[in-house]
Every structure is written in C-alpha cells, then in structure tokens.
C-alpha cells in the first residue's frame, strides 16, 4: 500500500498508540453510523455515513445521540 499524502509517516503511525475511545461502525435504523461507548456503557453516535443530506437533519442520527 502506498500513501499519497503530505503528512509524514510518524504523523499517521505514531509510536505511542493512544488507547482512544474505540469507534465501531454499526447499522442503526437502516443507516451506517460510527459509535463509541461512553462511561455509562451506552453507545453514542459519533458520525453518520449517508449521502442523503436530510439524514443529517434527522434527530435519530445526530452526533451525540445515545442509542440503546
């Protein structure tokens, strides 16, 4: 694989791997969303993957929404 980017190798692959919040892609109401687990063990939406601009106005998919 060849990366074509102005970033340096170290910026993309840092030696210290931070244990950031694990982000998973899941299916939620027929759309793909990225979620992360919050402190209470609930999943919270980080990002919506959709090409329909109206999905981004739908409160169901807004970032920060806690889904169960």
Does residue number 62 form part of the binding site for other proteins (CB under 8 A)? yes
Does residue number 4 form part of the binding site for other proteins (CB under 8 A)? yes
CA pair distance 1, 30, nearest whole angstrom: 32
What tokens were used for 65? Answer: 């929404």
27, 39, 41, 51: residue in contact with other proteins (rule CB under 8 A) = 51
Q: Which residue has the tokens 């990366």?
A: 3
Residues in touch with other proteins (CB under 8 A): 1-9, 12-14, 17-18, 20, 22-23, 25, 32, 49-54, 57-59, 62, 64-66
């Amino acid at each position: 694989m060849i990366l074509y980017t102005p970033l340096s190798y170290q910026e993309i692959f840092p030696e210290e791997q931070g244990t950031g919040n694990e982000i998973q892609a899941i299916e939620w109401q027929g759309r793909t969303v990225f979620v992360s687990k919050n402190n209470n063990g609930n999943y919270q939406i980080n990002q919506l993957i959709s090409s329909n601009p109206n999905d981004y106005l739908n409160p169901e998919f807004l970032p920060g929404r806690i889904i169960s």
